[in-house]
Amino acid sequence: MIGKVFNNRYKIIEKLGSGGTAIVYRGQDLLLNRMITIKILREEYANNTDFIRRFRHEAQAVASLSHSNIVGVYDVGFEENMHYIVMEFVEGESLKDYIRRKGMISSPEACDIAIQILAGVQHAHEHGIIHRDLKSHNILMSKDGQAKVTDFGIAVGMSDVTLTYNTSSRIMGSVHYISPEQVQGQAVTEKSDIYSVGVIIYEMLTGRLPFLGETPISIAMQHVQGELILPHQLNPKISMAVSYVVMRAMRKNPDSRYAGAKEMADALRAACESEMNGQAAGAAFSEDEGFKKALAVTKPAARKQARPARPRQLDKKRILILAGAGVLLIVLLLVVGSLTGILGGGKTTEVPGVVGDMLSDAEAKMEDKHLLVDVEYVTSDQENGIVLEQSVKEGEKVSVGRTITLTVSKGAATIPMPDVMGATRKIAELTLTNKNIMYNITEQYDEEKPRNEVIFQSPEAGVDIALDTVAELVVSLGPEPISIIMPDLLGQTPDEANPVIEENNFVILTTTYGVSYDYAEGEICEQSIAPGTPTKTGAELSLTISEGPGPQSKTHNVRWVVTGDGGGHNVIIRVSD
């Protein structure tokens, strides 16, 4: 598939991952020369009219939307029995992977992400589209922190009369994020999306999902009747105000939730601002009966003194309680009966082999077999995200809904990348060498940064890197050279010449000292590039500083008249200086 070109325009570059019904690739739009995402319906569903309808519906649903927090759809097509959608390419990771990597996310960051998600959801709702499958897997996080909603595969219009079960008797939506009304087969509204966003915020703030269980049935039932542990009770750093927003979004009764995504975003923004400012968020949450009850769930009940019995009232209460319990039991039996059929209660499935697969591919395979996945990360010399082990062997028969634990590599042991931005080249090299980090250095001209200053580093400071990571540094060469005539520095002292040297960004290689009869001591008497010679700014230059004239030779003529007596004579000449 790599290298294939659709419609003489969309070229597949590499596989990014896969889901239950489609495989996702990174591609290139050859016409517009930009990166794209190409989503291709799996071959086994290429002739399935239901899946084809949903696949095309996703393209049609998103094509009508244009928002910075929704992944855009550019094109849709069919070629060589393959259905494909061409979408915006988002360089980054899913919010699910981001949570797995970071654990609990701080309130300010979680609020910022959630408000972006709600902005995209609000835009979809304004155009009559309900997502129905919002989950952290379907939120893409770009490298600059922008959240984008994707995967509108089971979205519906608000005017459609729709239940949450499809013709294959499977729940439409992910069981960990699904709203109570979807579990019970009731009509879906925009408030169903509000509930799912509440689950996503809960997951960000606490690092875990609100409801856990061994089977999809047990998880789904908790959405209907389970008590919610509030986020601030799991993470004390979260304020009660933020907890209240999450609790209200996740109320069982849709009418008790926020009226819309914008109202929820405004409430979340106010709660986070009050938390950051250390202020109370007002009386709204403290007076809310639902919030009081939720708080009371985890508080020990106070002992009450025995009171005299009131037979008549007690009998009435008993009748009401029994009647209510009977109704609840009937409802639960109906729900459990439906869920058992929907989720395959009592059926078995064969565990697929996923060792060696990327986690996203492994999850898709497990989902196809109606199995749940739990992930444990370990340090390994294998690539980050590779499945190393699975708790149940390939080919074994297990009950539908069984949780399979996958041991996944988080890469080799890591160390934090030091901050060398703004350091000199020598300091940066010494810092990385002391940390045993390999590096490459690229030099480039920069109009603002001085020569030899580090102006870029990758990875960024603070990022955990494997010990075999090769860091990339870019070092400034200073401003790009321009042609000039070499100025005359002769006869100037170094201090006098320095402004000219700096202005032209000359690099002084060597400075030596020598005897000069033409220049006074301390003056420049030689320069390696002669004055008036064509050169460039930033040129390398060597200078010689005069030591003065030094010792000079002296001559004196001495005349001596030798007598002609034929005898020998000694001549002594004494010189003093």
Spell out the alpha helix ranges (H) of 351-405. 359-368
User: Which pLDDT score is estimated for 58?
Assistant: 67
User: Which pLDDT score is estimated for 102?
Assistant: 87
- pLDDT exceeds cutoff 60 at 157: no
**Residue 563: inside a domain:** no
> Who wins on pLDDT, 134 or 287?
134
Rg of the chain's alpha carbons, rounded to an integer?
Answer: 38
Q: Determine the average pLDDT of the residues in 257-264.
A: 95
**Residue 122: inside a domain:** yes
Question: Is-catalytic flag, 288?
Answer: no
Nearest to 168 by CA among 308, 299, 337, 49: 49
* CATH number assigned to the domain comprising residue 275: 1.10.510.10
Choice among 108-112, 326-330, 426-430 with the minimum mean pLDDT: 326-330
- pLDDT exceeds cutoff 60 at 131: yes
Output the CA torsion 14→18→21→22 (10° steps): -20
User: Which pLDDT score is estimated for 292?
Assistant: 52
Q: Tell me which of 29, 75, 97, 133 is the catalytic residue.
A: 133
Q: How far apart are CA 232 and CA 237, in angstroms?
A: 7
Query: pLDDT tens-digit profile of 412-439?
Result: 777 899 999 999 999 999 999 988 899 9
- pLDDT exceeds cutoff 90 at 302: no
C-beta of residue 395 within 8 angstroms of C-beta of residue 427: no
> Is the same domain home to 33 and 108?
no
> Is the same domain home to 146 and 279?
yes
> Is the same domain home to 155 and 174?
yes
Q: How confident is the model at residue 531 (pLDDT cuts 50, 70, 90)?
A: very high
> Is the same domain home to 31 and 147?
no
Q: Give the SS3 label for residue 269.
A: helix
User: Which pLDDT score is estimated for 278?
Assistant: 65
Query: pLDDT tens-digit profile of 390-410?
Result: 999 999 999 887 889 999 887
> Is the same domain home to 434 and 539?
no
Q: How far apart are CA 145 and CA 156, in angstroms?
A: 28
Domain termination residue (choose one: 433, 458, 476) = 476
Q: How far apart are CA 553 and CA 353, in angstroms?
A: 96
- H-helix or E-strand spanning residue 27: strand 22-29
> Is the same domain home to 210 and 256?
yes
> Is the same domain home to 418 and 289?
no
> Is the same domain home to 418 and 359?
no
**Residue 558: inside a domain:** no
Read off the tokens for 541: 């230059």
- pLDDT exceeds cutoff 80 at 128: yes
In this prediction, what percent of the chain has a pLDDT beyond 90?
A: 45
Read off the tokens for 352: 């697929």
- pLDDT exceeds cutoff 90 at 49: no
Q: How confident is the model at residue 342 (pLDDT cuts 50, 70, 90)?
A: very low
Nearest to 360 by CA among 14, 75, 97, 148: 97
Q: How far apart are CA 284 and CA 291, in angstroms?
A: 10
Choice among 93-97, 321-325, 435-439 with the minimum mean pLDDT: 321-325
User: Which pLDDT score is estimated for 160?
Assistant: 41
User: Which pLDDT score is estimated for 136?
Assistant: 94
C-beta of residue 362 within 8 angstroms of C-beta of residue 370: no
Choice among 76-90, 164-178, 534-548 with the minimum mean pLDDT: 164-178
> Is the same domain home to 254 and 150?
yes
Nearest to 106 by CA among 17, 207, 218, 244: 207
> Is the same domain home to 191 and 128?
yes
Q: Give the SS3 label for residue 223.
A: helix
**Residue 554: inside a domain:** no
pTM more than 0.75: no
Query: pLDDT tens-digit profile of 214-249?
Result: 778 888 899 999 888 889 888 989 988 999 999 999
* CATH number assigned to the domain comprising residue 438: 3.30.10.20
Query: pLDDT tens-digit profile of 2-13?
Result: 899 999 999 999
User: Which pLDDT score is estimated for 346?
Assistant: 59
Structural domain span for residue 386: 348-403
C-beta of residue 342 within 8 angstroms of C-beta of residue 165: yes
> Is the same domain home to 50 and 152?
no
Q: Determine the average pLDDT of the residues in 458-475.
A: 88
**Residue 316: inside a domain:** no
- Alpha carbon distances (Å) from 464 to 416, 417, 439, 458: 4, 6, 15, 12
**Residue 569: inside a domain:** no
Q: How many domains is the chain built from?
A: 5
Q: How far apart are CA 490 and CA 488, in angstroms?
A: 6
User: Which pLDDT score is estimated for 7?
Assistant: 93
* CATH number assigned to the domain comprising residue 59: 3.30.200.20
Residues in Cβ contact with 554 at an 8 Å cutoff, skipping those fewer than 6 apart = 577
Choice among 52-66, 315-329, 444-458 with the minimum mean pLDDT: 315-329
C-beta of residue 16 within 8 angstroms of C-beta of residue 25: yes
CB-facing half-sphere around the CA of 40: CA atoms within 13 A:
27
> Who wins on pLDDT, 265 or 369?
265
- pLDDT exceeds cutoff 80 at 333: no
Q: What rounded mean pLDDT belongs to the chain?
A: 82
Q: β-pairing, 507-514 with 540-546?
A: parallel
> Is the same domain home to 65 and 183?
no
**Residue 169: inside a domain:** yes
**Residue 313: inside a domain:** no
User: Which pLDDT score is estimated for 20?
Assistant: 65
> Who wins on pLDDT, 309 or 372?
372
Q: How confident is the model at residue 281 (pLDDT cuts 50, 70, 90)?
A: very low
User: Which pLDDT score is estimated for 315?
Assistant: 46
DSSP output for 38-56: EEEE-GGGTT-HHHHHHHH
